[in-house]
Amino acid sequence: MKELLQVEKVSKRFGGLMAVNQVSFSVQEGEIVGLIGPNGAGKTTMFNLIVSLYKPDKGGILFRGEPIHTLSSHEIAERGITKTFQITTLFDDMSILDNVVVGAFLRHKKLAEAMAKAKEALAAVGLTATVTQTPKELNHVDRARLEIARALATSPSILLLDEVMAGLTPAETKEALNMIRQIRDRGVTLMVVEHNMRAVMSLCSRIIAFDSGMKITEGSPAEVSGHPKVIESYLGKGYEIA
């Protein structure tokens, strides 16, 4: 597999808090990579560093072999990396379709082309929308789907999903897992921050475990779930016994 993303000894400090500390990893084309760890471990900060919402204090980030950590978020999206947010950031006074058209305009400057791409992205996440329907009319699950659709409309090579399965029922989680796999099958590489361990273990080919801003370990789901430091800091002895 081709290496798409390289994170090289990246650190980020907020005042007295070292949020990310000397973290290195790579992502291969076609993978679904999971980031796990307790709250405050540095997972979302790592995502925000990748898409340039934050700038690293030390280290570098490369995409297709080229440094990207000095670029703006818009330039990162143009390169082919985009993310969703834990709290959906939708335009509630715009139609559902127009919310996605906004993302499609990144690569499609003609309205008709952007509309077609937006409808394709909505279909990919299982949403349909009338011209007048707005995100305010959607439930939590469909708002998350809409956020993913808007990200997909930018035609990303790598999509970063930040806790998109939070609060879902088992049935909804199963649907979300199928949707994510279908996105991967469309040629999109994915990174997933997720606390639902059953979901992340079944979804991801590789998992990176964080704690206190540091990478504890990485490997297959079986390797990571059995790692002593991961059990101690995150999964707990009950998970090991189960």
Residue among 95, 117, 90 at smallest CA distance from 105: 117
pLDDT greater at residue 242 or residue 94 = 94
Distance CA 203, CA 209 (A): 15
pTM (2 d.p.): 0.92
Question: What pLDDT score does 198 carry?
Answer: 87
Lowest mean pLDDT among 18-32, 61-75, 120-134: 120-134
Give the CA angle between residues 147, 150, 155 to the nearest 5°: 135
Distance CA 165, CA 172 (A): 8
For the domain made up of 3-241, give the CATH fold. Rossmann fold (3.40.50)
Segment holding 215, helix H or strand E: strand 214-219
168-186 average pLDDT score: 94
Give the contacts of 109 (CB within 8 A, at least 6 positions apart).
Answer: none
CB atoms within 10 A of CB 161: 24
Domain extent listing, the chain: 3-241
Residue 242 has pLDDT above 90, yes or no: no
Strand partners, 128: none
Residue among 82, 75, 86 at smallest CA distance from 100: 82
pLDDT tens-digit profile of 217-237? 999 999 998 888 888 877 665
